Structure 1
Amino acid sequence: MEPARAAVWNARAALLYSLGGWTALGGLIYYSSLDNTKTGTENESDPEANPGTRKEIHTKEYPFGLTVTTEITYKEVQPPLTRLLRRAVSFFVPNDDPPDPPSEK
């Protein structure tokens, strides 16, 4: 095989493999986020999945007894790619926490 044809074949194969890899990764992210929105329930014991909300309450009083209360609620929403990357990193980072005690039945 000529070197020029081999280089073209190599470039085409690399393009095909990269396209397939990114398609699989995109499908994984899409369907995992789709499953989370369908069920509407997340694991409540997992702090990564349910970070909770933060509330700020501001009260301002004006003359003549007028009081205005403003409540702002923040909820941290992580994009699916961030959750996927954190899960992948958690496999390689050692967990030094003590093991959970066995549950009694």
Structure 2
Amino acid sequence: MARSKLRLAVWNARAALLYSLGGWTALGGMLHYTMTSGGSLENKSDPQAKPAPRQEIHTTETALGFKVTTITTYREVEPPITRLLRRVKSYFFPDDSPPPEN
């Protein structure tokens, strides 16, 4: 009787390891897919899909006559985990509204 309980515990541990490995592999694959360019659903040639980054250019002149130009670029960066969470949310709460007409 004790031997069968031990075998049951070992089998249960192996099954739990297998299922957890499969779950983490699926999650890692989905994260990798969303981080690579193949995972993006946006049209890269559409200029309205992603707005151009905003730039600020500051030029200052030093005491020795050198000009120093500083270009600061601001762009909207969405973390990969946010894209993943939005995609998962879209599976549970689909948006059935008609597409916008331009």
- State the TM-score, normalized to the length of structure 2: 0.58
Deviation, 1:19, is 0.8
Q: What is the rounded CA distance, in whole Å, between the counterparts of 2:13 and 2:45 in structure 1?
A: 43
Residue by residue, what CA displacement relative to the aligned partner does 1:10-63 show, whole Å, maximum 9, x if unpaired?
1110110111122122223323424147x98277656xxx46523232221234
| Letter in structure 1 aligned against 2:31 | I
Partner of 1:75: 75
Does 1:26 pair with 2:28?
yes
What residue ranges of structure 1 are gaps of 5+ in the alignment?
Answer: none
Counterpart mapping for 1:48-87 below 5 A:
50=50, 52-63=52-63, 66-87=66-87
Q: What is the rounded CA distance, in whole Å, between the counterparts of 1:28 and 1:44 in structure 2?
A: 27
Q: What is the rounded CA distance, in whole Å, between the counterparts of 1:100 and 1:20 in structure 2?
A: 37
Quickly say closer, same or farther: Cα 1:85–1:27, change in 2 above 3 A.
Answer: same
Deviation, 1:71, is 0.8
Percent identity among equivalent residues?
A: 54
Partner of 1:9: 11
Superposition RMSD on alpha carbons, in Å?
3.9
What residue ranges of structure 2 are gaps of 5+ in the alignment?
Answer: none
Secondary structure of 2:28 counterpart? helix
Range moving further from structure 2, 66-75 or 15-24: 66-75
Deviation, 1:6, is 1.3
| Letter in structure 2 aligned against 1:5 | R
Quickly say closer, same or farther: Cα 1:100–1:27, change in 2 above 3 A.
Answer: closer
Q: Which runs of 4+ in 1 moved over 6 A?
A: none
